Structure formats: C-alpha cells, structure tokens
Amino acid sequence: MIGSKQNRITNMKSLITSSLVGVFAIASSFAAEVGKQAPAFTANNTNGQKVSLSDYKDKIVVLEWTNFDCPFVKKHYSSKNMQKLQTEYTEKGIVWMTVNSSAEGKQGQLEPSKLAEKVAEQGGKPSEILVDTDGAVGKAYDAKVTPHMMIISKDGSLVYSGAIDSTPSTDAADIESAKPLFADALNAVIAGKKVTNSKNKPYGCGVKY
C-alpha cells in the first residue's frame, strides 16, 4: 500500500512537471523574435479605444517604448529627433505606436489623459499612443529600455528590435554623429530590402514593469 501510494505521488509529480514544461513551451513560442511573426496584441490608446496590431494588417508598424522621465528619452525629444522621425515616417504611411509600459506608481507612468497631454506638449506625432500599464505588450515584445525601437513589416514579421542610434548617451549633441540604426532599418523595410543589423542592444532606462 505504501509503495502504491508513493508511486501515485511520483506519477502526479511527473504529470505536474510535464504540464509546466508544456506551459512554458507554449509561452516561449509566442515570445517576440526578429525574423518571426510579431506577437498579436490589443491595448487601449489614450482615448480609451482598443487598438490591435491586426487593425494595421499590410502596414509597416513602428513600436517606440517611452518614459518621459528617462534622460535617454528626453535626449531624443528635447532635440526634436523623435518627433522628426515620427513626422517623416507617418507622412510616408508608416503606423507609429508610442508605447508606455510603466506600471502604476512607477517612473514614467501617467494617466491616459496626462500621457496624451505630455506627447502633445512635446510635439509628438505618433499614430497611436498605447497605455500598457500592465506591461502585456512590452513583455510580449521583450521591450528592455526606453527608447526601445521595433519595426513590424507588412507581412506581420518583426524585422527590427534595437537602438534608435549607435551612441548610447544622454547628450543630444551626439545624435548628429551617431549612426541612425533605426532609421536605416526602416528605410530598408520601406524599400523592400533586407535589414542589416536587425537585432542589436538598445540603450536607455529599463522599462518600469
């Protein structure tokens, strides 16, 4: 009887372990990976409307993670570099989504109306401003820092994940001499060319999940 009970316990542990392994395998299969299909998502924008990636099927989509209290973000907004990129590419039909994944009470988190005001105050020109307080979108895409830049091609593949440029500093004066990694990648996608350096280490403040 004791042996039978021990066997049942062992079998149950094996079953639980197998189930957990299966769950983790399923979860990892949906993790963002450059060259693979971009994870689907739905999030509210600052107007309280639901925005899904599928709404922009057959469009090139940019994801820009932001935190306006981050000095690296301030570098690209105070210099108007980010706004210039947003304007230039949205005018070319690119869908630009600015994503705030700061959790409630964490640095950079703003109520939807305040976030919209902040973007407008900065002169931002994104197509959508996403409120990702629960971090669902950021974690699905493994967004590490602000700003972390990503590009999704017309066929729904994630084709770029990395830095906005090659100089990881907070000095706006460095922008002019930096290699525009993100812009180069986006120009290649628009031209239907292969993106070189499609995955690189982004720099900035850690996303405040």
User: In the predicted model, is pLDDT for residue 27 greater than 80?
Assistant: no
User: In the predicted model, is pLDDT for residue 25 greater than 70?
Assistant: no
Q: What is the pLDDT of residues 167-194, one digit of tens each?
A: 999 999 999 999 999 999 999 999 999 9
Query: Which tokens is 100 given?
Result: 């705030």
The predicted structure's pLDDT at residue 107: 97
More reliable by pLDDT, 27 or 87: 87
**Overall average pLDDT of the 87-93 stretch:** 98
The predicted structure's pLDDT at residue 40: 97
Kindly provide the b/e burial profile for residues 131-143, where b requires at least 16 CB atoms within 10 angstroms of the residue's own CB: bbbebebbbbbeb
* Cα–Cα distance, 112 to 100 (Å, whole number): 10
**Overall average pLDDT of the 56-83 stretch:** 98
Length of the chain: 209
The predicted structure's pLDDT at residue 23: 31
Q: What is the pLDDT of residues 33-45, one digit of tens each?
A: 999 999 999 999 9
Q: Is the pTM of this model over 0.75?
A: yes
Q: For the chain, give the mean pLDDT.
A: 89
* Contact status, residue 60 vs residue 190, Cβ threshold 8 Å: yes
Residue with tokens 């299909």: 37
Give percent of the chain above pLDDT 70.
Answer: 85
Confidence of residue 30 (pLDDT cuts 50, 70, 90): low
Confidence of residue 31 (pLDDT cuts 50, 70, 90): low
User: In the predicted model, is pLDDT for residue 49 greater than 50?
Assistant: yes
User: In the predicted model, is pLDDT for residue 5 greater than 50?
Assistant: no
Confidence of residue 10 (pLDDT cuts 50, 70, 90): very low
From the list 55, 65, 51, 32, the residue with the least C-alpha distance to 135 is 65
